């Protein structure tokens, strides 16, 4: 059962790469206003609002000074990223006990990502005044990282439950008496 041990670091490395993919799109009436990657959620971002019909999404004319929308950093995204990085480093150690640690880290990673979703959903509800016009769409990077964390936990469980091969002990025959 060497395959789980070899593919475990690959899974956690993929999670880290998912943070560079789009995590969430904010859209209004079906048109994407802004798209944020997981890394932008970690560091915070300044997003320029797109222009529509000579006006931006707030109804201001082009002649007016355009203000960029500031997105604050999300601590849960940082914690999920750190969990993926820690799981990657721990999975490089080929000890059976580290698999148990990776199970815990993987579960924490899933929890952090769900808490991130609840935080973003809560922030979006506070900032919107429309009647369901503005929506949040969670993208491939977000959902795939959750699936990979779950896969990492299952893989670590398989590694932890792996039975050690029994040593074939060949006993020497007793010395022959002459």
d(CA 86, CA 12): 9
Q: pTM (2 decimals)?
A: 0.77
pLDDT at site 71: 80
Q: What integer best gives the mean pLDDT of the chain?
A: 82
Architecture of domain 2-48+67-160: Up-down Bundle (1.20)
Q: How confident is the model at residue 64 (pLDDT cuts 50, 70, 90)?
A: very low
Under 8 Å CB-to-CB from 55, ≥6 apart: which residues?
A: 61, 62
Q: What are the residue ranges spanned by the domains of the chain?
A: 2-48+67-160
Give the model's pLDDT for residue 52.
53
């Amino acid at each position: 059962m060497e395959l789980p041990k070899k593919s475990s670091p690959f899974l956690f490395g993929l999670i880290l790469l998912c943070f560079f993919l789009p995590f969430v799109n904010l859209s209004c009436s079906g048109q994407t206003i802004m798209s944020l990657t997981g890394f932008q959620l970690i560091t915070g971002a300044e997003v320029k609002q797109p222009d529509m019909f000579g006006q931006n999404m707030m109804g201001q004319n082009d002649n007016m000074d355009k203000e960029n929308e500031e997105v604050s950093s999300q601590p849960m995204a940082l914690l999920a990223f750190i969990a993926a990085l820690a799981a990657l480093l721990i999975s490089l150690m080929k000890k059976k006990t580290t698999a148990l640690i990776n199970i815990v880290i993987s579960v924490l990673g899933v929890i952090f990502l769900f808490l991130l979703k609840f935080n973003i959903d809560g922030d979006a509800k506070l900032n919107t005044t429309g009647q369901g016009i503005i929506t949040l769409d969670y993208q491939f990077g977000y959902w795939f990282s959750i699936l990979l964390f779950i896969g990492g936990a299952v893989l670590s469980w398989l590694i932890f439950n792996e039975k050690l091969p029994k040593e074939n002990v060949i006993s020497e025959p007793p010395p022959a008496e002459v």
